[in-house]
């Protein structure tokens, strides 16, 4: 392959101009390419598709950098410029999908003799044209365009309200009894003798997990579950109405039907069936573990009849500590951030046959580390790790694209955006890190596709979580952890502790599945029916699916960010997990580094990106179609 350059990022004082140049430059190029294609369409289908690919590359480049910088750049002006660039990219994409002349060119191509991947690209282009409504009359096309713009703006408003609504509670130091000492050291009382704690993850999760005081946990749960309220309730109503109209204009019954058409699951009605299947499969395990939580809570509060939302994390941790002898505070002493980060790179490098070489390159914030990705000595990509919280930054954990790779044209570059503590990490955070890294590796390894459309994490959306969820297994393996999990005294995490951690983690998998199905039902139901009172409907769904009651006065949906990105498809997490468990069954649990299976997985599942249907990738790897068996067996264990 050709030696490709990495994208040169700017120094801080040039960030704003650089961003606008990059986005508008690529958008202008896309516009010129479209004009050229329309003015003089080549007669050969391959030539048309090549130009189509050039357009996709330019548009993708503008989209990647703007959606990344809107979430991570430390300068508010850059974030705002990036948001506005995203709107231009989105508007251009919408125009493209509704461009009748382009559609006529692409749909009129003679496709005989096209090689299979070009034929797939052609089919995909036609499908996307149809889904954007290009074949409808002019009035409908104009309305679809308006809808797309409004949906994007409304989604951005929803995300911004979550990001910027950081809430705080104040408590006395003794109300924080139970929290780890290093956390307490960094949360001292102010002059009024009270400690301020925010709803950001590094505060909220430890408080909900460790605070002995039920009132403190309750106050935090209430604050956490009202982020975005009330503003986002109305924003969501607008978003759902826009999506419902969008689907209806295109002739679909619901947004879920429109959205599911391009997923593995295929139809909106199948989502409900899937949710019910998982709900049923997880029932016995959920009941069993719920009873354990309740019994333990009754030791503290003899009259207790329910496990509340503010109790779940705390009593899960208590049960893990007491019944599985897993002490979260002891566990975290083995997970020093710097060693974990290096360990992750070593483990994934060994598994996938890659080397990560740290490079000195301009980055958007001093916390960010850049690495070149080498395979057989050749650079195949670059990654950036942006792993600590700061003001105005994305609050969750996710992989973003900086550049999507195209064979011999551009190097894949991806970014991990997380919010971890700088010192000791919770093991959960280590698992999250492995998870997100699974997306990053997928992005890089699938970055040598010829066609931009199939580059990177470009499989059906309900499959994309499978590689990342499968990689979590490596963060639970004693041999793997032994390679980097050492405490300040240099002692390696004991294997029997890791085994107990695994058993402890499996505690609650049934009720966790039910909570996930509650979220999935919210995401589906809000997109298939109109509800005047979203909170009231939320309560009904919680009562039906979750093992835990609604917490009075809260509005979980107003900070449920996935309602924007995943829309009706939150089920995809669980769908992917079913497939992840199946794929993992092909690995030797006693030797997770066994090279043959890891390479087969890399080459048959990750490297092809979106060039084949996910079901085909999985069966190419497993040698058979995927099933629910491994997942069901794990639940029953």
Residue of the chain from 421, 468, 542, 576 that contacts Zn ion (CB under 5 A): 468
Q: Does residue 516 interact with Zn ion by CB under 5 A?
A: no
CB nearer to Zn ion: give 71 or 465: 465
Per the listing, tokens 């600590």 go with 388
Rounded (10°) CA dihedral 273, 275, 276, 277: 80
CB of 522 to Zn ion, least distance (A): 19
Q: Is the dihedral of CA 616, 621, 624, 628 positive or negative?
A: negative
CB nearer to Zn ion: give 316 or 468: 468
Provide the phi-psi class of 356: left if phi over 0, else alpha when psi is between -120 and 50, else beta. Answer: beta
CB nearer to Zn ion: give 418 or 522: 418
Nearest to 369 by CA among 422, 317, 325: 422
**Secondary structure (DSSP) of 286-310:** HHHHHHHHHHHHHHHSTT-----TT
CB nearer to Zn ion: give 277 or 396: 396
x/- letters, 422..461, toward Zn ion (CB under 5 A):
----------------------------------------
CB nearer to Zn ion: give 443 or 514: 443
Q: Does residue 546 interact with Zn ion by CB under 5 A?
A: no
Q: Give the binding range for Zn ion (CB under 5 A) out of 177-185, 190-198, 374-382, 462-470.
A: 462-470
CB of 438 to Zn ion, least distance (A): 7
CB nearer to Zn ion: give 410 or 468: 468
Nearest to 344 by CA among 471, 198, 202: 471
Query: Exposed, middle or buried by CB within 10 Å (0-12, 13-18, 19+), for 530?
Result: exposed
Q: Does residue 310 interact with Zn ion by CB under 5 A?
A: no
Nearest to 385 by CA among 334, 340, 331, 424: 340
Determine the Cα–Cα distance for residues 467 and 114; give it in Å rounded to an integer.
31
Distance in angstroms between the alpha carbons of the first and the last residue of the chain: 47
Determine the Cα–Cα distance for residues 387 and 425; give it in Å rounded to an integer.
12
CB nearer to Zn ion: give 113 or 565: 565
Quickly count: other Cβ atoms within 10 Å of residue 595's Cβ: 11
SS3 track for 117-186: HHHHHHHHHHHHHHHHCCCCCHHHHHHHHHHHHHHHHHHHHHHHHHHHCCCEEEECHHHHCCCCHHHHHC
CB nearer to Zn ion: give 427 or 435: 435
Provide the phi-psi class of 187: left if phi over 0, else alpha when psi is between -120 and 50, else beta. Answer: beta
CB nearer to Zn ion: give 208 or 443: 443
Angle (deg, nearest 10), helices 231-249 and 138-164: 160
Q: Give the binding range for Zn ion (CB under 5 A) out of 18-26, 126-134, 221-229, 464-472.
A: 464-472
CB nearer to Zn ion: give 58 or 441: 441
List beta partners, residue 50.
Answer: none
CB of 347 to Zn ion, least distance (A): 18
The CB-nearest residue to Zn ion is 468
Q: Does residue 515 interact with Zn ion by CB under 5 A?
A: no
CB of 449 to Zn ion, least distance (A): 21
CB of 64 to Zn ion, least distance (A): 17
Coil/strand/helix, residue 325: coil
The token pair that represents 229 in the structure block: 């309220």
CB of 584 to Zn ion, least distance (A): 16
Q: Give the binding range for Zn ion (CB under 5 A) out of 191-199, 258-266, 467-475, 598-606.
A: 467-475
CB nearer to Zn ion: give 307 or 430: 430
CB of 468 to Zn ion, least distance (A): 4
CB of 396 to Zn ion, least distance (A): 10
Nearest to 94 by CA among 150, 159, 47: 150
CB of 395 to Zn ion, least distance (A): 15
The token pair that represents 635 in the structure block: 């639940």
DSSP 433: H
CB of 495 to Zn ion, least distance (A): 28
Q: Does residue 421 interact with Zn ion by CB under 5 A?
A: no
Q: Give the binding range for Zn ion (CB under 5 A) out of 204-212, 400-408, 463-471, 552-560.
A: 463-471
Q: Does residue 232 interact with Zn ion by CB under 5 A?
A: no
x/- letters, 194..213, toward Zn ion (CB under 5 A):
--------------------
CB of 566 to Zn ion, least distance (A): 11
Q: Is the dihedral of CA 421, 495, 594, 342 positive or negative?
A: positive
CB of 79 to Zn ion, least distance (A): 23
Interface with Zn ion: number of residues (CB under 5 A): 2
Q: Does residue 576 interact with Zn ion by CB under 5 A?
A: no
Residues lying near Zn ion in the complex (CB under 5 A) are found at 465, 468
């Amino acid at each position: 392959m050709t030696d490709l350059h990495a994208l040169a990022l700017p120094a801080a004082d040039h960030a704003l101009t650089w961003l606008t140049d990059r986005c508008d430059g690529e958008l202008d190029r896309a516009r010129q390419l479209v004009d050229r294609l329309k003015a003089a369409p080549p007669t050969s289908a391959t030539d048309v598709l090549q130009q189509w690919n050039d357009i996709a590359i330019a548009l993708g480049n503008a989209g990647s950098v703007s959606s990344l910088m809107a979430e991570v750049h430390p300068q508010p002006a850059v974030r705002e410029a990036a948001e506005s660039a995203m709107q231009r990219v989105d508007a251009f994409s919408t125009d493209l999908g509704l461009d009748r002349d382009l559609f006529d060119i692409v749909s009129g191509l003679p496709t005989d003799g096209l090689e299979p991947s070009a034929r797939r690209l052609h089919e995909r282009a036609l499908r996307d044209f149809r889904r954007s409504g290009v074949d409808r009359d002019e009035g409908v096309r104009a309305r679809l365009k308006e809808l797309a713009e409004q949906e994007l703006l409304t989604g951005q408003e929803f995300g911004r309200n979550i990001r910027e609504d950081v809430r705080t509670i104040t408590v006395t130091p003794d109300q924080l009894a139970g929290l780890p000492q290093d956390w307490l050291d960094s949360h001292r009382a102010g002059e009024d003798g009270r400690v301020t704690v925010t709803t950001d993850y590094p505060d909220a999760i430890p408080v909900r997990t460790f605070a002995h005081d039920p009132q403190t946990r309750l106050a935090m749960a209430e604050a956490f579950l009202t982020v975005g309220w009330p503003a986002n309730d109305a924003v969501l109503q607008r978003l759902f109405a826009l999506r419902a109209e969008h689907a209806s204009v295109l002739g679909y019954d619901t947004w879920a039907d429109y959205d599911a058409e391009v997923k593995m699951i295929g139809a909106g009605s199948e989502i409900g069936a899937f949710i019910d299947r998982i709900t049923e499969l997880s029932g016995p395990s959920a009941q069993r573990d719920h009873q354990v939580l309740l019994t333990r809570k009754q030791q503290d509060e003899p009259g207790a009849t329910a496990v509340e939302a503010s109790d779940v994390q705390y009593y899960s941790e208590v049960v893990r500590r007491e019944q599985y002898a897993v002490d979260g505070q002891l566990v975290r002493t083995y997970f020093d951030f710097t060693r974990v980060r290096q360990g992750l790179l070593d483990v994934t490098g060994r598994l996938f046959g890659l080397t990560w070489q740290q490079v000195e390159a301009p980055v958007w914030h001093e916390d960010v580390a850049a690495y070149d990705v080498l395979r057989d000595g050749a650079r195949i990509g670059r990654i950036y790790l942006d792993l600590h919280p700061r003001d105005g930054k994305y609050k969750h954990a996710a992989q973003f694209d900086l550049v999507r790779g195209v064979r011999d044209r551009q190097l894949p570059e991806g970014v991990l955006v997380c919010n971890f503590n700088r010192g000791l990490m919770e093991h959960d955070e280590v698992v999250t890190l492995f998870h997100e890294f699974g997306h990053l590796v997928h992005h890089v390894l699938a970055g040598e596709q010829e066609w931009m459309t199939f580059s990177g994490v470009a499989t059906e959306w309900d499959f994309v979580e499978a590689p990342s969820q499968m990689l979590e297994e490596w963060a639970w393996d004693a041999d793997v952890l032994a390679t980097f999990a050492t405490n300040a005294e240099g002692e390696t995490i004991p294997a029997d502790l890791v085994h107990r951690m695994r058993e402890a983690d499996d505690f609650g998998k049934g009720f966790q599945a039910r909570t996930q199905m509650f979220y999935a039902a919210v995401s589906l139901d809000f997109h298939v029916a109109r509800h005047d009172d979203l909170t009231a409907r939320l309560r009904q769904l919680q009562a039906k699916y979750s093992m835990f009651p609604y917490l009075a006065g809260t509005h979980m949906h107003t900070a449920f960010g996935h309602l924007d990105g995943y829309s009706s498809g939150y089920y995809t997490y669980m769908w992917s997990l079913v497939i992840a468990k199946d794929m993992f069954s092909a690995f030797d649990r006693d030797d997770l580094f066994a090279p043959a299976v890891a390479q087969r997985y890399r080459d048959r599942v990750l490297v092809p990106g979106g060039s084949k249907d996910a079901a085909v990738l999985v069966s190419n790897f497993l040698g058979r179609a995927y099933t629910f068996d491994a997942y069901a067996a794990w639940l029953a264990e």
